[in-house]
Structure 1
Amino acid sequence: MSTSTKSDPTIFIIFGGTGDLTSRKIAPALYNLFLDGWLPNQFSIIGTGRTQLSDEQFRENLFKDISQFSRSGKVAKEKWDVFSKSIFYQVSDIKDFETYKEFGKRVEKHNTEWKTKANVIYYLAVSPNFFPIIASNISKAKLADDPKKVRIVIEKPFGHDLETAKELNKLLSSIFDECQIYRIDHYLGKETVQNIMAFRFANSIMEPLWNRNYIEHVQISVTEQLGVEERGDYYDGAGAMRDMIQNHLLQLLCHVAMEPPVSFSADEVRDRKVDVLKAMRKFGPEDVRLSAVRGQYGSGWMKGKEVPGYRDEPKVDPDSNTETFAAIKFFIDNWRWQGVPFYLRTGKRMHQSSSVITIQFKDVPHLIFPTEASESWQQNRLIISIQPEMSIRLQVQAKRPGLDMVLNAVDMVFDYKGTYASQAPEAYETLILDTMLGDQTLFMRGDQVEAAWELVMPILSTWQNKKSLNFPNYSADSWGPESAEALIARDGFNWFTLPVQGNKK
Structure 2
Amino acid sequence: MIDRLVIFGATGDLSGRFLLPGLASLHAAGQLGDRFRVVGADRGGQDDAWFRQWAADRLDRHAATWPADARRAVVDAACYRRADVTDPADVASVIAGPGPVAVYLALPPALFPAAVTSLHAAGLPAGSRIVLEKPFGTDLGTAVELNRLLADLVPEQAVFRVDHFLAMTTVQNLLGSRLANRVLEPIWNSTHISEVEIVWDETLALEGRAGYYDGVGALKDMLQNHLLQLLCLVAMEPPVSLDERDLRNRKVDVLRSVRPLTGTDLGRRTRRARYTAGRLGGREVPAYADEQGVDPVRGTETLAEVQLEIDNWRWAGTVFRLRSGKALGTDRKEVAVHFRSVPHLPFGGGEEAPPNLLRFGLDPEDLTLHLTGTGAHAHLLAPLELTARMEPPELPAYGRLLLDVLTGDPALSIRGDEAEEAWRILTPVLSAWSSGMVPLEEYRAGSGGPGRPAHSAADQA
TM bucket (normalised to shorter chain) is: over 0.9
Which position in structure 1 is the counterpart of 2:92?
Answer: 101
- C-alpha distance in 2 between matches for 1:324 and 1:467: 18
Which position in structure 2 is the counterpart of 1:382?
Answer: 358
- Picking from 85, 103, 106, the partner of 1:122 is 103
Tell me the TM-score normalised to structure 2 length: 0.94
CA RMSD of aligned residues (A): 2.1
Q: Matched residues, percent identical?
A: 37
- Aligned residues of 1:311 and 1:320 also touching (Cα < 8 A): no
* 1:60 aligns to 2:53 (yes or no): yes
* 1:140 aligns to 2:139 (yes or no): no
Which position in structure 2 is the counterpart of 1:489?
Answer: none
- C-alpha distance in 1 between matches for 2:306 and 2:177: 26
* 1:478 aligns to 2:447 (yes or no): yes
Aligned length: 455
Q: What secondary structure does 1:297 align onto?
A: strand
* 1:426 aligns to 2:417 (yes or no): no
- C-alpha distance in 2 between matches for 1:120 and 1:399: 61
- Picking from 247, 255, 258, the partner of 2:233 is 255
* 1:208 aligns to 2:186 (yes or no): yes
* 1:452 aligns to 2:433 (yes or no): no
Question: In the TM superposition, what whole-angstrom CA distance separates every residue of 1:245-274 from its partner, at most 9, and x where no partner exists?
Answer: 111111111110000001111111011111
Q: Sort the Cα spacing of 1:80 and 1:259 in 2 relative to 1 into closer, same or farther, 3 A.
A: closer
1:186-197 maps to which residues of 2 (within 5 A)? 186-197=164-175
Which position in structure 2 is the counterpart of 1:289?
Answer: 267
- The gaps in structure 2 that reach 5 residues or longer are 457-461
Q: Sort the Cα spacing of 1:80 and 1:307 in 2 relative to 1 into closer, same or farther, 3 A.
A: closer
- C-alpha distance in 2 between matches for 1:104 and 1:237: 30
Q: Sort the Cα spacing of 1:176 and 1:313 in 2 relative to 1 into closer, same or farther, 3 A.
A: same
Which position in structure 2 is the counterpart of 1:85?
Answer: 76
- Aligned residues of 2:135 and 2:224 also touching (Cα < 8 A): no
Q: Sort the Cα spacing of 1:314 and 1:80 in 2 relative to 1 into closer, same or farther, 3 A.
A: closer
Q: What secondary structure does 1:23 align onto?
A: helix
Q: What secondary structure does 2:370 align onto?
A: strand
Tell me the TM-score normalised to structure 1 length: 0.86
1:262-281 maps to which residues of 2 (within 5 A)? 262-281=240-259
Which position in structure 2 is the counterpart of 1:342?
Answer: 320
Q: Residue type matched to 2:362 in 1? A: I
- Could you list the structure 1 runs, at least 4 aligned residues long, displaced by more than 4 angstroms after superposition: 78-83
- C-alpha distance in 2 between matches for 1:197 and 1:273: 12
- C-alpha distance in 1 between matches for 2:268 and 2:393: 44
- The gaps in structure 1 that reach 5 residues or longer are 1-7, 109-116, 486-496, 500-505
Which position in structure 1 is the counterpart of 2:161?
Answer: 183
- Aligned residues of 1:295 and 1:473 also touching (Cα < 8 A): yes
- C-alpha distance in 1 between matches for 2:87 and 2:260: 43
* 1:408 aligns to 2:401 (yes or no): no
Q: Sort the Cα spacing of 1:209 and 1:29 in 2 relative to 1 into closer, same or farther, 3 A.
A: same
Q: Residue type matched to 1:86 in 2? A: A
Q: Residue type matched to 1:270 in 2? A: R
Q: CA deviation at 1:423?
A: 5.3
Q: CA deviation at 1:164?
A: 1.0
